[in-house]
A and B are shown apart, each in its own frame.
Chain A
């Protein structure tokens, strides 16, 4: 019990004192996870929409496959990215291992299927509703993609937030490809894992509370913006 109450005091202290180390770690966490989500959105939105609108052989299998990839174990993704980026691996010459770039790549792999799968579902539902109307206006699936994505934008925000949640919460992948190097690749989750391994449970939990607070802040900000935008545009 003492650990838990101590953790809240530690968290409060960390937040109020603007600890420079903590700011650095939080900054890197946000940079890595937001970059990964941005990449995942660039790939996942069009892929998800295409999966919803086009008919082709093996489509059902691919849909099931993408849905299943939402459950990718981070530690396995980390291992695969490590093997690719290691000096002994095929992409080793670029020297990307143990850099934020490697962490972004690993998290993008984790998040893309989430964005793609949820986008596919949202767009497929809209297409059922609007396909006749759009076809009568002479719009086929290709030209319908931007319109449908635009129409679904408020729902897609939730899909993107789900992806961000996945990225900011995972530790397995960034630990392996980042190496948890102080001032270089240490993010919130790997810092928490490190403090647990030092037996400093109060500090670890304190950092955890900070992470949850930040996540809450991001979600609250997004929700507010979304509400305002919906009020203006609908």
Chain B
């Protein structure tokens, strides 16, 4: 019996020892699924780590949850895409300062057969009206993410409340962009997605981009250092180093260089000196 016990304890000790040896210099970045799933971080972060020795640990969740993580002090840097929420985050004292990083755009995807007839429309709001009036299936994130917030703003602008109980054509999946696109692909539904996730997404099925280029579909990303006054353990110096690099010359150049299948995925637009 004693041998068994000693073995177990030794095993646990051996197993937990391995946990401690990770890099000392690291920051935690709360970010969105779009930046992670698009492959941008895989391209960008190793170059930053090579240069500075700082490891960047990314927790990729929806913008709503990322902001919540940062508010609780569970991240050092917030890197998301919903400007009003980001400004509120800073105003409430959770963040030090918000800087623009880059943009891309949202696109409306849907089945090639296009039952609502929205292909090529220039106004996203008008397209949504046609989807609603034809009761065509629409898959929404429904997860309070940046994309979901944008989508709800677009519906509001079109004067439609799709979330009502009677609207069987509207499915709120309550999950990430990829999972929502899997749903859309499975039921041949329309959906709103950021372009980078769409380009990288492999299960497109019968879906294609139908509406793009409307200025309201602009998608701005911002970066914020979590306020050490709220959470004393925030790695201010390392976090600021990362932010300065991302909005600086090198980070901005690399963001512009990143391509998915020959398409530029993000457009750097940090303002120098801010």
**Nearest Cβ in chain A — how far from B58, in angstroms?**
6
**Residue A35 lies at the interface, judged by CB distance under 8 Å to chain B:** yes
A98–B74 touching, CB < 8 Å: yes
Which residues does chain B contribute within 8 Å of A42, judged by CB atoms?
A: 8-9, 12
Query: Please, how many angstroms separate the alpha-carbon atoms of A98 and B75 in the complex?
Result: 10
Query: Please, how many angstroms separate the alpha-carbon atoms of A165 and B263 in the complex?
Result: 43
B16–A101 touching, CB < 8 Å: yes
Total of A-B residue pairs, C-beta within 8 Å: 86
Q: What is the size category of the interface that chain B forms with chain A?
A: 35 or more
Q: A42-B8, A98-B74, A101-B16 are in contact. Are A199 and B178 (CB under 8 A)?
A: yes
Which of B57, B73, B176, B181 touches A98 (beta carbons < 8 Å)? Answer: B57
Quick one: closest A residue to B57, CB to CB? A181
Which residues does chain A contribute within 8 Å of B233, judged by CB atoms?
A: 87, 95
- Interface residues, chain B, CB within 8 Å of chain A? 1, 8-9, 11-12, 15-16, 18-19, 22, 28, 33, 37, 42, 57-60, 71-74, 175-179, 181-182, 185, 200-204, 231, 233
Query: Please, how many angstroms separate the alpha-carbon atoms of A101 and B18 in the complex?
Result: 10
**Nearest Cβ in chain B — how far from A141, in angstroms?**
17
B1–A198 touching, CB < 8 Å: no
* Nearest 5 interchain pairs by C-beta: A197-B178, A87-B73, A199-B203, A179-B59, A88-B72
A-B contact pairs, 29 of them (CB 8 A): A31-B15, A31-B18, A34-B15, A35-B12, A35-B15, A38-B15, A42-B8, A86-B72, A87-B72, A87-B74, A92-B73, A98-B57, A98-B74, A100-B18, A100-B19, A104-B16, A179-B57, A179-B59, A182-B42, A184-B22, A196-B178, A196-B182, A197-B33, A197-B178, A198-B178, A199-B185, A199-B201, A199-B204, A201-B203
- Interface residues, chain A, CB within 8 Å of chain B? 31, 34-35, 38-39, 41-42, 86-89, 92, 95, 97-101, 104, 146, 150, 179-182, 184, 194, 196-201
Query: Please, how many angstroms separate the alpha-carbon atoms of A53 and B8 in the complex?
Result: 24
B37–A197 touching, CB < 8 Å: yes
Which of B22, B59, B182 touches A180 (beta carbons < 8 Å)? Answer: B59
Q: A87-B231, A95-B233, A99-B19 are in contact. Are A197 and B177 (CB under 8 A)?
A: yes
**Nearest Cβ in chain B — how far from A101, in angstroms?**
5
Which residues does chain B contribute within 8 Å of A201, judged by CB atoms?
A: 182, 202-203
Which residues does chain A contribute within 8 Å of B1, judged by CB atoms?
A: 146, 150
